[in-house]
Structure 1
Amino acid sequence: MTTAEPTTDGSYRNKIVAVEPGGNEYIAEADRHGKPSQLFWTWTSPNLEFATIFVGMLAVLAFGMSFWQAVAGIAIGTGLGAVAHFLLSARGPLHGVPQMVLGRMPFGFKGNAVPAALMSVTAGVGWFATNSVSGAFALSTLFGFGPLVGLIIIVLLQTGFAFFGHNLVQAFEKYSFPVLAVIFIAASVAIFVHADLGAPVGADGVGGMGGFLLTVGTSFGYAAGWTPYAADYTRYLPSTVSTTRTGLFASTGLFLSCFVLEIVGAASVTTGEANLGDPTGSFTSELASPLAKATLLAIAIGAIAANSINIYSGAMAFVTIGIKLPAHVARALVTVFFGVAGFLIAWWALPDAAHSYEAFLLIIAYWIGPWLGVVFADQYLRRGQKIAGYLYDRSYANWGGLAAFLFGLVASVLLFSNQELFVGLIAKAVPQLGDITFFVGFVLAGGAYLLFCKSKIAAERTLDVTSV
């Protein structure tokens, strides 16, 4: 059985200061607008923030990498995340639905509630809280008031943008891009002037292959953390646009912003002023006063740019779970809920932000690795298949996909996790591996999906052909 797709009515189109109606419906051609090139700043602006810089700082301070080792690990991890983002972004114009609605194919309508819930929590609460903390510290340092006051200001602004929806979020990314780019370029030049790129490796970090793989893992976790959102910001593009250009602009913006600012973060540690207890303050300490103040302001703006996307897509994913809410305002209502929840978590994380962030990056990669494995295996098996009739069919099931995801997730964590609270069996026996949970989860889940679901999808193809 297949179900007709609920669609938008053409009333939203390119309005900016208007609440986006509905939740996760198919975007009708009457509402389509924009061009692929806009995706460059859509995915550059949210990464021009301190959370990105901090990934590079962790590589040197916590993982014991030299600057050049950090550059290599960051390039690999970010590159892998950007490739995944390319492939998923390209699907938005074709199908006109959010990323998590597309997830109903590999997981089924009900099974998809598991990754959708995970994405809601990591995006709408986890990432929201993480970025809010960095923005709050920046405002606190800049204006001299307490971090809690800065947190309230940040949360109100970013929740407001996300409440209005897609077009206002896209507009904010566009107009914040030149401001953020100019300030961060100037700050980056100043950091590299003071950096000692040949500084010896610190004695306190993990070091070795384990530290390198942790660097790859955290940079991948940061970049790939955007992949469950990919189609959310390409689904409004006209169905006739080039899918290659769509994926290319999205992935290029993501890669350049993440790679450049992460290596700036790694370079900043070599100045000798880095301090995980006050990361924003130590990062700006080498900058002249006017540039330091501008950088702190940019860090706050970047946090808002990132979290406008986080809370918007987190709410979108929650709506996709299948809980019935008033159709016209479903996404907007959930946005407010996540804004409150994210604020409370961020408030709780303020005293130990650095430690919380390191663990959070790896945990994101733990579930996104097997999720991507299942999603890409499904795309491979369904290549050329029409899927529109399945996306909103509440009876459509694909339990093999959920089983493959859970198998990849649980097995990889039990064997390879290298967290303070839990060390996997193989990671304990071979600690020099660092943490490769995300890679193993991707391979195991993808392989299991091909094994579990190949015959089911082949049968669906046959049924589709015979029913035409």
Structure 2
Amino acid sequence: MSDEKNIAISGEKAYSYDDIDHPSTGSTSDAEVYHTKVNFIDRWATKLRAETKGIDMVTDEEKTEDSLWDAATMWLSANLVIATFSLGALGITVFQLAFGQAVLVCIFFTALGAFTVAYFSCFGPASGLRQMVLSRFLIGDITCRIFSFINVIACVGWGAVNIMASAQLLHIVNNGALPPWAGCLILVLCTIVVTFFGYHVIHIYEKWSWIPNLIVFIVIIVRFAMSGKFHSAGFEGGQTTAGNVLSFGGTIFGFATGWTTYASDYTVYQPRNANLTKIFFSIFLGLFLPLVFILILGAACATGIKSDARWAELYETNSVGGLVYAILVEDSLHGFGQFCCVILALSTVANNIPNMYSMSLSAQNFWSPLARIPRVAWTIAGNGATLAICIPAYYKFESVMENFMNLISYYLAIYESLMLSSHLIWHKGNFRAYPYERYLDKQAYPIGLAGTFGFCCGVAGVVIGMNQTWYSGVVAKQIGEFGGDIAFELAFAFAFIGFNATRYFELKYIR
């Protein structure tokens, strides 16, 4: 191995000599930034006290965040948003479930999805590494690059879908005075401001941003209860209902577990000796409680569509924005209701912040030369891409965009299957069993052949198990009249079998 490729270890932080020359992922201190000749973007960011650290390891000296409340509110704010409300409504409007059935699906599949987010968050304190970087040790170099690439697409795509929904709500307020493109621009600019400053400012924002959102949701509860339009149909069994339960459950699971590929990004500044059990439960509850609360509220409010023609009309023309408008504005709170709609639309910022911040880290991890581009630059570029997509998508191909993002979300089950298999089976579940300080040394982690084979097996499971409007797999078609989506279940199982069947040979014959 040449001298240029040797790894220089200093304390608990590891660098390649190439990274020292281009330290866009270095510390935020002025001394270190100027000492390592960081480029002008990081110098500018440092003067504004923004975080300039990217995928580099967070050292013990930098691990100064120990608040469990901050860890929990990170996900409380990100999920107490209009997008969650919209998802809950689908159980009634699209999947035609009784309200009680929708409630049970929301509770069960949310708990299933939130588990992995909380579990992998425990890696942050122990490793000091971002989620995609520590994935190298569990699923290998090649495989984690595949997931990094998909993660970039997913972050930008979901950011665009979320913004379109909120822009719709902003547009309907005040009789369409604000054009949709302007609503998209406002939401993207707000996201840029917070994500630019990085980890600590993100946690400060998420620590408090849930409060106005909660107040608005309470107002919705009061106004909806006063309307008297709640209606709960009786439970119906059969294969068609089973298919709808599986499809709605898969959608809920994908939304809840969507943060798994970002999980440790938001706990890396927790001390290395942090109580992992407390971190797990604080994050699990911070994610589970707001999701279940808002999902059920969305389902309850959607039942009103069946009993009120005007509500049905507004929902048909303006989706969930029309439903919220019907509850808060028309024959209701009028001007104050419109103000509440604006607050609710802006809640999307809290949901998009993790997407845009983690997108930058995934981009840096995908290919080594990309790590030289500062996190701040990636954050701005990611938000720019989101804006470039969401404006034309709003007018031309919103449904195509949502269908594509539903397809992308299946990768989460594959990722979780591979990561849990590696950690629990091959590393005995020990969070501190990995040589984290060697994250730049490719000899310290697998190439990723077993992980890549498991990924391909998982994709096969998706193909035969998915049930979307534009395609239904051979297995999915067999469930009820409209099919049932079991893609994430089959993806998890197929990936599990493929990875574990080949991991032994990868260890034995390669390394």
Give the TM-score normalised by structure 2: 0.82
- Which residue in the other structure is 1:280 paired with? 321
The yes-or-no answer on 1:88 pairing with 2:120 is: yes
| CA distance in 1 between partners of 2:435 and 2:93 (Å) | 47
Note if contact 1:65-1:212 (Cα within 8 Å) is conserved in structure 2: yes
* The one of 233, 257, 265 aligned to 2:298: 265
The yes-or-no answer on 1:70 pairing with 2:70 is: no
- Which residue in the other structure is 1:11 paired with? 29
* The one of 277, 291, 295 aligned to 2:340: 295
Note if contact 1:65-1:201 (Cα within 8 Å) is conserved in structure 2: no
Q: Any runs of at least 4 consecutive aligned residues in structure 1 with deviations exceeding 6 A, and if so which?
A: none
Q: Deviations over 1:128-175 (max 9, x none)?
A: 101111222232233521111111111111022212211111111112
- Which residue in the other structure is 1:120 paired with? 152
Aligned-partner SS, 2:374: helix
Aligned-residue Cα RMSD (Å) equals: 2.8
Note if contact 1:187-1:291 (Cα within 8 Å) is conserved in structure 2: no
For residue 177 of structure 1, report the CA deviation from its aligned partner: 2.1
For residue 454 of structure 1, report the CA deviation from its aligned partner: 3.7
* The one of 432, 452, 455 aligned to 1:405: 455
270-279 or 158-167, which moves further after superposition? 270-279
176-185 or 383-392, which moves further after superposition? 383-392
Question: Per the alignment, do residues 398 and 302 of structure 1 end up closer, same or farther by CA in structure 2, a change over 3 Å counting?
Answer: same
The yes-or-no answer on 1:100 pairing with 2:145 is: no
50-59 or 184-193, which moves further after superposition? 184-193
- Which residue in the other structure is 1:466 paired with? none
Aligned-partner SS, 1:23: coil
* The one of 251, 255, 273 aligned to 2:288: 255
- Which residue in the other structure is 1:28 paired with? 59
Structure-to-structure mapping, 1:9-408, within 5 angstroms: 9=27, 11=29, 18-34=49-65, 35-123=67-155, 125-143=156-174, 144-194=177-227, 196-200=229-233, 208-272=241-305, 273-274=311-312, 275-278=315-318, 279-287=320-328, 288-325=333-370, 327=372, 330-351=374-395, 355-356=399-400, 359=403, 362-380=406-424, 381-383=426-428, 384=430, 385-394=433-442, 396=445, 397-408=447-458
149-158 or 387-396, which moves further after superposition? 387-396
For residue 52 of structure 1, report the CA deviation from its aligned partner: 0.7
Aligned-partner SS, 1:225: helix
Question: Per the alignment, do residues 303 and 201 of structure 1 end up closer, same or farther by CA in structure 2, a change over 3 Å counting?
Answer: farther
For residue 285 of structure 1, report the CA deviation from its aligned partner: 1.1
Note if contact 2:240-2:480 (Cα within 8 Å) is conserved in structure 1: no
| CA distance in 2 between partners of 1:271 and 1:119 (Å) | 37
The letter for the 2-side match of 1:312 is Y
| CA distance in 2 between partners of 1:431 and 1:323 (Å) | 48
Note if contact 2:27-2:53 (Cα within 8 Å) is conserved in structure 1: no
Question: Per the alignment, do residues 82 and 349 of structure 1 end up closer, same or farther by CA in structure 2, a change over 3 Å counting?
Answer: same
Structure-to-structure mapping, 1:422-441, within 5 angstroms: 422-431=471-480, 434-441=484-491
Aligned-partner SS, 1:97: coil
Provide structure 2 residue ranges, at least 5 long, that are not aligned to the other structure.
Answer: 16-24, 33-45, 306-310
| CA distance in 2 between partners of 1:195 and 1:142 (Å) | 24
The yes-or-no answer on 1:450 pairing with 2:494 is: no
The letter for the 2-side match of 1:182 is I
Note if contact 2:191-2:352 (Cα within 8 Å) is conserved in structure 1: yes
For residue 50 of structure 1, report the CA deviation from its aligned partner: 1.2
The letter for the 1-side match of 2:192 is T
362-371 or 55-64, which moves further after superposition? 362-371
For residue 361 of structure 1, report the CA deviation from its aligned partner: 5.9
Structure possessing the higher radius of gyration over alpha carbons: 2
| CA distance in 1 between partners of 2:458 and 2:495 (Å) | 4
For residue 189 of structure 1, report the CA deviation from its aligned partner: 3.5
The letter for the 2-side match of 1:277 is T
The letter for the 1-side match of 2:302 is V
Aligned-partner SS, 1:112: helix
Aligned-partner SS, 2:263: helix
| CA distance in 2 between partners of 1:68 and 1:285 (Å) | 23
Note if contact 2:26-2:54 (Cα within 8 Å) is conserved in structure 1: no
Note if contact 2:76-2:287 (Cα within 8 Å) is conserved in structure 1: yes
For residue 49 of structure 1, report the CA deviation from its aligned partner: 1.5
Q: Deviations over 1:369-398 (max 9, x none)?
A: 111100110111113332315532245412
| CA distance in 2 between partners of 1:109 and 1:94 (Å) | 20
264-273 or 425-434, which moves further after superposition? 425-434
| CA distance in 1 between partners of 2:51 and 2:303 (Å) | 46
Provide structure 1 residue ranges, at least 5 long, that are not aligned to the other structure.
Answer: 464-468
Note if contact 2:91-2:102 (Cα within 8 Å) is conserved in structure 1: yes
Question: Per the alignment, do residues 110 and 414 of structure 1 end up closer, same or farther by CA in structure 2, a change over 3 Å counting?
Answer: closer
| CA distance in 2 between partners of 1:259 and 1:115 (Å) | 28
Aligned-partner SS, 1:76: helix
| CA distance in 2 between partners of 1:320 and 1:229 (Å) | 13
Give the TM-score normalised by structure 1: 0.89
The letter for the 2-side match of 1:298 is I
Note if contact 1:213-1:436 (Cα within 8 Å) is conserved in structure 2: yes
For residue 290 of structure 1, report the CA deviation from its aligned partner: 4.9
Question: Per the alignment, do residues 218 and 311 of structure 1 end up closer, same or farther by CA in structure 2, a change over 3 Å counting?
Answer: same
The letter for the 2-side match of 1:200 is A
Aligned-partner SS, 2:142: coil
